[in-house]
Amino acid sequence: MSAPQRAPRVGVLALQGDVREHAAMLSELGAEVVEVRRPEDLEGLDGFVLPGGESTTLSLLLQSSGLFDPLAERLAAGLPVLGTCAGMILLGREVLDGRSDQRVLGVVDLSVRRNAFGRQLESFEADLDVEGLEGGPVHAVFIRAPVVERAGEDVEVLASVEMGGVKLPVVCRSGAATAVAFHPELTGEDRLHRLLLEEVASRRKGAGA
């Protein structure tokens, strides 16, 4: 008989933003949640979540806490990650309309413009079909959301919204990273977190963990 597997250990960046909602959703789905504030907290994680908040502040806090470089390394090495809103900005490779000292983790080949829906609408909601998610459309809440202006060739666009005849990617996936422009954690929408946990499970299986 094989030993029962321990629960997946998922870190939630807990420097700023809507940490609690992500943590509650992950616990509900059976994960052990680690609130990550210091480099030591990254030890032994199977997955990671970058919450929404303010990407400029998150960038500064990531640097002052010493987390920026070790986290970037873990993500570059393939730690499965979900980033929502400001988390999407942080996962990208280039930030437009950022602060001059704002750094991003560069995990997904995206150029992302901050607050770009905001010129027309500060926040809005939409029902989206997300490729690969069963069970009907995702009700998406966008709050001062980023716009993906460029997605690299290895980026799969799983959902878009149409604005003024242009399709703007809002769910993007590359390797084990998923970047989402809206806030699934605020509406009880748990399918993207499930996707993260599936990715974690398949990596752990592959590693024989």
**Contact in structure between 95 and 62 (CB atoms under 8 Å):** no
Nearest to 126 by CA among 145, 115, 137, 139: 139
Select the residue interacting with ligand GLN from 8, 52, 80, 83 (CB under 6 A). Answer: 52
Q: Is 86 in the site for ligand GLN (CB under 6 A)?
A: yes
Answer yes or no: 172 catalytic.
Answer: no
Minimum CB–partner distance for residue 119 and ligand GLN (Å): 12
Q: Smaller CB distance to ligand GLN: residue 161 or 200?
A: 161
Determine the interface stretch with ligand GLN among 30-38, 47-55, 103-111, 172-180 (rule: CB under 6 A).
47-55
Q: Smaller CB distance to ligand GLN: residue 98 or 204?
A: 98
Q: Positive or negative, the Cα torsion across 55, 60, 66, 72?
A: positive
Q: Positive or negative, the Cα torsion across 110, 47, 52, 166?
A: positive
Answer yes or no: 21 catalytic.
Answer: no
CA dist 178 and 49 (Å) reads 10
Q: Is 55 in the site for ligand GLN (CB under 6 A)?
A: yes
Answer yes or no: 85 catalytic.
Answer: yes
Q: Smaller CB distance to ligand GLN: residue 46 or 189?
A: 189
Q: Is 114 in the site for ligand GLN (CB under 6 A)?
A: yes
CA dist 1 and 156 (Å) reads 39
State the DSSP string of 66-111: T-HHHHHHHHHTT--EEEETHHHHHHSSEEES--TT------S-EE
Tell me the catalytic residues: 85, 183, 185
Q: Which residues bind ligand GLN (CB under 6 A)?
A: 52-55, 85-86, 89, 114-115, 143-144
